[in-house]
């Protein structure tokens, strides 16, 4: 039986990726469809994708599949042929990365989960069959010109911070499961208005649109293929992009530039900057925005304390890390930004 898991260290895999000479293409895709045996489907995927040297992160659940991967460009057509040989995925839209250096992933990981998007929904009446209407880039721009249109960003606060659509409303939360009921509460009184949901690649806003309809909203839309597909369509059709700044992505790049505007600030000195990084201290790894000057000043760390730590002997660093469980550490200013935005919506 073939090995269905990676057994090589991350450090070695990263080094092998950096030494690769052949180009890679970064792709994301998702589909909501019923998978009777997710573990069996997961193993089937791993065997075939590993043979094509595909890297990336894929989640499989009874409700469908969610994938962010990089494919050797030379194997791109073989990959498509395999993917489209699976009936529910035949002809599926693939989001090709906009700003891609091919170094997005260095290993293939496919995991079985309860859901492909953790939503916290336990209402048995909820169904993904009734979802909002798709809008493409041109339709998105047209709707954005209308006074009765409300645009809701269904991404995390740190994604919104570096880039978003003009006048988009942030739902300030660390998790999608928290955002869904928050979005409903924030939109009360706007049940008849045009509401557009968007996210990075489409998977979150598609489910969010179905949830809003389930909660009684009438005119709900969601951006087909998310920001990634919007940026590609806008470029191909020579449309004026209404998305400003950078699109955060969940791979080694941590972002792809959509427009030249830099709308965020360095979390350490306050200068314009939209470069996300993880604190260089292995005992911290805080995700935050850091300019090149502060990166040099703090040796890639988020604080003087972490800088001091990384200069300690390795054995002492390991001792300090022992027993730590930081979870997902992310610099968050979104809650402070919420009140002025809500006041603006309510005319205060």
Q: How far apart are the first and last CA of the chain?
A: 66
Active site residue 199: yes
Output the CA angle 213-148-335, nearest 5 degrees. 70
User: Nearest-CA neighbor of 155 among 220, 212, 200?
Assistant: 200
**What backbone phi and psi angles, to 5 degrees, belong to 17?**
-65, -45
User: Nearest-CA neighbor of 66 among 250, 235, 339, 314?
Assistant: 250
What is the DSSP pairing of strand 287-289 with strand 243-247?
unpaired
Output the CA angle 157-204-274, nearest 5 degrees. 30
**Number of H helices and number of E strands within the chain?**
12, 15
Token representation of residue 274 = 């939209």
**What is the spatial distance between Cα 326 and Cα 270, in angstroms, rounded to a whole number?**
25
Residue written as tokens 């895709």?
29
Token representation of residue 218 = 């009438």
Q: Which of 199, 273, 284, 291 is catalytic?
A: 199
On whether the CB atoms of residues 67 and 56 are closer than 8 A, the answer is: yes
Helices (H), 168-225: 176-186, 203-214
Token representation of residue 7 = 């057994």
Token representation of residue 256 = 């792809």
On whether the CB atoms of residues 249 and 95 are closer than 8 A, the answer is: no
Cα 89 off chain centre by: 21
User: Nearest-CA neighbor of 180 among 151, 144, 210, 218?
Assistant: 210
Give per-residue burial for 265-278: e unless 16+ CB within 10 Å, then b. Answer: bbbbeeeebbbbbb
Residues belonging to the active site:
199
């Amino acid at each position: 039986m073939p090995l269905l898991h990676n057994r090589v260290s991350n450090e070695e895999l990263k080094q092998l990726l950096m030494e690769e000479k052949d180009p890679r293409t970064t792709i994301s895709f998702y589909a909501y469809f019923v998978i009777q045996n997710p573990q069996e489907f997961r193993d089937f995927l791993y065997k075939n994708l590993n043979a094509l040297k595909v890297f990336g992160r894929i989640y499989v659940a009874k409700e469908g599949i969610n994938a962010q991967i990089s494919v050797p460009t030379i194997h791109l057509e073989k990959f498509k042929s395999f993917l489209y040989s699976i009936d529910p995925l035949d002809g599926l839209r693939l989001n090709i990365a906009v700003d891609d250096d091919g170094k997005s992933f260095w290993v293939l990981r496919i995991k079985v989960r309860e859901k492909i998007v953790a939503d916290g929904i336990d209402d048995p009446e909820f169904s993904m069959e009734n979802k909002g209407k798709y809008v493409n880039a041109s339709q998105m721009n047209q709707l954005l010109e209308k006074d009765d249109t409300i645009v809701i960003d269904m991404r995390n606060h740190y994604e919104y911070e570096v880039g978003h659509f003009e006048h988009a409303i942030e739902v300030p939360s660390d998790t999608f499961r928290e955002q869904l009921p928050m979005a409903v509460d924030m939109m009360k009184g706007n049940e008849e208005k045009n509401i557009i949901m968007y996210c990075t690649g489409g998977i979150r806003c598609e489910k969010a649109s179905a949830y809003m309809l389930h909660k009684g909203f009438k005119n709900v839309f969601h951006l087909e293929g998310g920001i990634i597909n919007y940026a590609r369509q806008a470029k191909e059709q020579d449309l004026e992009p209404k998305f400003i700044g950078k699109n955060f992505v969940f791979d080694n790049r941590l972002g792809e530039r959509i427009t030249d505007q830099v709308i965020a600030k360095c979390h350490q000195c306050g200068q314009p900057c939209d470069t996300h990084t993880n604190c260089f201290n292995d005992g911290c790894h805080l995700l935050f925005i850091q300019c090149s000057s502060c990166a040099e000043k703090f040796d890639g760390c988020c604080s003087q304390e972490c800088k001091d730590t990384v200069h300690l002997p390795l054995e002492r660093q390991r001792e300090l890390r022992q027993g730590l469980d930081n979870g997902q550490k992310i610099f968050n200013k979104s809650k402070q930004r919420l009140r002025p935005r809500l006041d603006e919506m309510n005319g205060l």
